[in-house]
């Protein structure tokens, strides 16, 4: 074999080896990437399960305690909801027809009602709702104020509603969105001691029940008040992570005080007795 032919063969062999090496490195790289993705997905699932376990334990025990699942520890924190002048249901949004309850009296440690702590019968509120994302999805707001009438000792309800599109007979047009936080499309100032409510000085407001109507997507509701509201419940946040990979997952769950079912609204009348 001539030197020229030998040199060409060597060059071909080197080129073939380079191609094979390139393909091998590419395959190895893809394999390593797939392994890393699979490992991250597995770790993410394990971390998320640990965070969920922390939430479940907190809801069961009513306290915030760290929970260890295998080698992963979920750190759990607890924050009271309500107790101030602004309440947004923990950032929750509501579909049409779902009740959002705002307690106006306090609760004991066991969850029982404590009428000794209550919002003033002449307190001021601003109701805020809707995100204004679409003019075709402008919700109306229906409310029911449940209170204890000091004169008779009976529980009574006062109803009112606000509809920005004028679709509902008897509903007023909301007018006070400037008193709401940024991001809300509609608002209405109300006074429990006057206007449509006019509670007596010794009446005890118990519960404000709010309901959006006509919206096709879930939208926010918030309440701003002239004085502190009683606590409405608790929110728990559980955070778990794997330090070596940096994978972290957080789970947040709010648990508000229980309220009567919706049928409750239809068996209380303000001014007349229930006749069968």
155: pLDDT confidence band, cut at 50, 70 and 90?
Answer: confident
Average pLDDT, stretch 48-76? 86
Residue by residue, DSSP assigns the chain as --HHHHHHHHHHHHHHHHHHHHHHHHHHHHHHHHHHHHHHHHHHHHHHHHHHHHHHHHHHHSS---EEETTEEEEEEEEEEESSSEE-GGG-EE-TT-EEEEE-EEE-TTS-EEEEEE--TT-EEEEEE---S-GGG--EEEEEEEEE-TTT--EEEEEEEE-TT--STTPBPP--GGGSPTT-SEEEEEETTSTTT---TT-EEEEEEEEEES-SS-EEEEEEESSPPPEEEEEEEEEEEETTTTEEEEEEEEEEPP---GGGGGS--SSS----
Residue 268: predicted pLDDT: 57
For residues 133 and 196, give the distance between their C-alpha atoms in angstroms, rounded to a whole number. Answer: 30
User: Percent of the chain scored above 90 by pLDDT?
Assistant: 40
Residues in the chain: 276
Average pLDDT over residues 145-159: 87
pLDDT tens-place string over residues 175-223 = 888 889 888 999 999 999 988 899 998 999 999 999 999 999 999 999 9
Instruction: Tell me the mean pLDDT in the region 219-232.
Output: 94
* pLDDT confidence tier of residue 273, bands split at 50, 70 and 90: very low
Q: Highest mean pLDDT range out of 111-120, 121-130, 234-243? A: 121-130
Name all domains of the chain by residue range, CATH numbers in brackets: 84-229 (2.60.120)
pLDDT on residue 274: 41
Q: How confident is the model at residue 143 (pLDDT cuts 50, 70, 90)?
A: very high
Assess whether pLDDT exceeds 80 at residue 230: yes
**Contact call for residues 211 and 99 (beta carbons, < 8 A):** yes
Let me know: does 116 contact 106? Beta carbons within 8 Å: yes
Q: What distance in Å separates the CA atoms of residue 44 and residue 73, rounded to the nearest whole number? A: 14
Higher pLDDT, 190 or 13: 190
pLDDT of 5 reads 63
- For tokens 């109507």, name the residue: 213
- % of the chain with per-residue pLDDT over 70: 90
Write down the pTM of the prediction: 0.72
- How far is it, in rounded angstroms, from Cα 127 to Cα 212? 12
Task: Tell me how far apart the alpha carbons of residues 197 and 262 are, in angstroms, rounded to a whole number.
Answer: 21
Quick: pLDDT tens for 253-269: 888 888 888 776 666 55
Quick one: pLDDT at residue 2?
57
- Per the CB < 8 A criterion, the answer to whether 148 and 203 are in contact is yes
pLDDT higher than 80, residue 172: yes
pLDDT (average), residues 1-24: 72
What mean pLDDT do residues 241-249 have?
Answer: 83
- Does residue 4 surpass a pLDDT of 60? no
Mean pLDDT of the chain: 85
Looking at residues 100-117, what average pLDDT do you find?
Answer: 89
């Amino acid at each position: 074999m001539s030197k020229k032919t030998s040199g060409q063969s060597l060059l071909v062999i080197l080129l073939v080896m380079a191609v094979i090496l390139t393909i091998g490195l590419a395959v190895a790289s893809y394999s390593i990437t797939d392994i890393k993705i699979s490992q991250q997905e597995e770790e993410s699932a394990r971390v998320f399960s640990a965070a969920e376990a922390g939430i479940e334990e907190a809801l069961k025990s009513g306290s915030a305690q760290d929970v260890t699942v295998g080698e992963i520890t979920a750190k759990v924190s607890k924050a009271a909801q309500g107790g101030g002048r602004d309440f947004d249901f923990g950032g929750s949004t509501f579909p049409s027809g779902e009740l959002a309850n705002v307690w106006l009296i306090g609760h004991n440690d066991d969850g029982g009602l404590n009428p000794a702590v209550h919002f003033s019968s002449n307190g001021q509120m601003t109701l805020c709702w809707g995100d204004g994302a679409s003019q075709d999805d402008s919700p109306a707001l229906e409310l029911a104020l449940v209170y204890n009438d000091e004169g008779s000792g009976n529980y009574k309800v006062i109803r009112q509603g606000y509809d920005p599109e004028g679709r509902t007979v008897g509903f007023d047009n909301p007018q006070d969105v400037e008193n709401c936080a940024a991001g809300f499309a509609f608002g209405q100032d109300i006074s429990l001691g006057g206007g449509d409510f006019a509670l007596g000085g010794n009446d005890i407001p118990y519960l404000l029940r709010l309901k959006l109507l006509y919206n096709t997507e879930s939208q926010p509701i918030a309440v701003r008040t002239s004085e502190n509201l009683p606590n409405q419940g608790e929110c728990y946040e559980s955070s778990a992570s794997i330090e070596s990979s940096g994978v972290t997952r957080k789970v947040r769950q709010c648990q508000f005080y229980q309220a009567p079912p919706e049928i409750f609204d239809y068996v209380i009348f303000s001014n007349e007795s229930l006749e069968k």
